[in-house]
Amino acid sequence: MLSDSLPWFASAGLLAGTLAGAHAQPTLKDAFKDSFLVGAALNPEQFSGKAGCENSLIVTQFNTISPENVLKWGRVHPEPDQYNFGPADRYVEFGQKNHMFIVGHALVWHHQTPPWVFRDEERNLVDRDTLLKRMHDHIATVVGRYKGKIGGWDVVNEAVDEDGKLRQSPWLKIIGEDYILKAFHYAHEADPGAELYYNEYSAENWRKRAGTIALIRKLRSQGVSIAAVGLQGHYTMDWPKPRALDKTIKAFAALGVKVSVTELDVDVLPSPTSSQAAEVSLSFARQPKFNPYTNGLPVSVERALAERYAGLFAVFVKDREMMSRVTFWGVTDASSWLNNWPIRGRTSYPLLFDRDCSPKPAFDAVIKTAMARACK
């Protein structure tokens, strides 16, 4: 019988999308279609269709997209009276054309927000009411423009510090603790149909997790509807341990929200810091010892990365009922931010596709975690 000679995923309908030019393999979005959405963060080249082989990967592998930068305040609203919607419009059109779930990122954050937002014409800090009005108008304009098109928004990004307390950002200092509540209200007002998310890094560490849990609990008791907590997922080869990840997912799910992994990558390069914070302002000098794989990844490291990804996805698959999405921060190793953070100009290998858009052993390892579930 024909079906006996086909691999299991053929009969499971997973051959619908195959990698361009490669032998038939299940795609990420098909392999996990009963578990969660699988996405990638895109840059303008990619959503304008000018990214060569990455473009075929994007449409075959992923069913949700996030904007790497074009919806951050500094890009979309650089001056008080100037909105720059061109790139964001193209991002949204790309998602619509390809029938993808479109994520908006990020409305309120302390980085990539221009200094004018917090200051008056004399460069003094503005008062609470002025900043609330600016926040309101920004959210109403940006969320309003994509009402019914962007399915979910990262409303507030990184409001909790490593010690679990609220971060001393200009938002907190000027408005006070309720800036988060207000941001969620304004976003809901602008598009009542959109899912709203709180997004955070290192919530797998207990202090930060405790602080984030307290925040979500409080917001929910104030009537804020939060669809999901986003774990950014900027991971290393040994952090977080799968057990801590599992515990984190369960802790948030117990609050009655879904969990998404919103910016997944695994850094294989030696780190110049012991910090686990994906703090974008970190920057270190270039040194050869921190850039050891300029001529390719040794097989042993390639294998270790595949095992690491298998360990992470085993947790996601096990906890799938608590999860809504896993989004990678980039498409191939070539376009990852980790080539330039926290040291500029390194050769990094954090994703599932290599610089030629070929699936890495880590891709096969991830697909296998879906197969293991399907075979049970």
Residues at the contact surface with ligand GLA, assessed by CB under 6 A: 105-106, 157, 201, 232, 263, 278, 280, 337
Residue nearest to ligand GLA (CB): 337
Q: Report in angstroms how near the CB of residue 298 gets to ligand GLA at its nearest.
A: 26
Separation CA 236–CA 12 (nearest Å): 33
Nearer to ligand GLA, 3 or 281 (CB): 281
Among residues 54, 68, 195, 263, which one is catalytic? 263
Nearer to ligand GLA, 231 or 304 (CB): 231
Separation CA 266–CA 276 (nearest Å): 12
What single-letter DSSP state applies at residue 160? B
Alpha carbon distance, N-terminus to C-terminus of the chain:
23
Among residues 68, 158, 200, 204, which one is catalytic? 158
Reported as type and span, the H/E element at residue 262 is strand 258-267
Q: Report in angstroms how near the CB of residue 283 gets to ligand GLA at its nearest.
A: 13
Q: Report in angstroms how near the CB of residue 261 gets to ligand GLA at its nearest.
A: 12
CA dihedral (282, 177, 154, 146) positive or negative: negative
Residue 263 is a catalytic residue: yes
Nearer to ligand GLA, 263 or 267 (CB): 263
Residue among 110, 104, 42 nearest 76 (CA): 104
Q: For residue 92, is it left (φ>0), alpha (ψ between -120 and 50) or beta?
A: alpha
Separation CA 146–CA 259 (nearest Å): 23
Longest dimension (CA), the chain: 79
Q: Report in angstroms how near the CB of residue 203 gets to ligand GLA at its nearest.
A: 12
Nearer to ligand GLA, 63 or 262 (CB): 262
* DSSP code per residue over 268-315: -SPPS-------TT------GGG-TTTT---HHHHHHHHHHHHHHHHH
Residues 6+ apart with CB under 8 A from 76: 70, 83, 84, 85, 88, 142
Residue 321 is a catalytic residue: no
Q: Report in angstroms how near the CB of residue 284 gets to ligand GLA at its nearest.
A: 15
Separation CA 376–CA 179 (nearest Å): 46
Q: Report in angstroms how near the CB of residue 201 gets to ligand GLA at its nearest.
A: 6
Nearer to ligand GLA, 106 or 334 (CB): 106
Nearer to ligand GLA, 105 or 188 (CB): 105
Any idea which residues carry the catalytic annotation? 158, 263
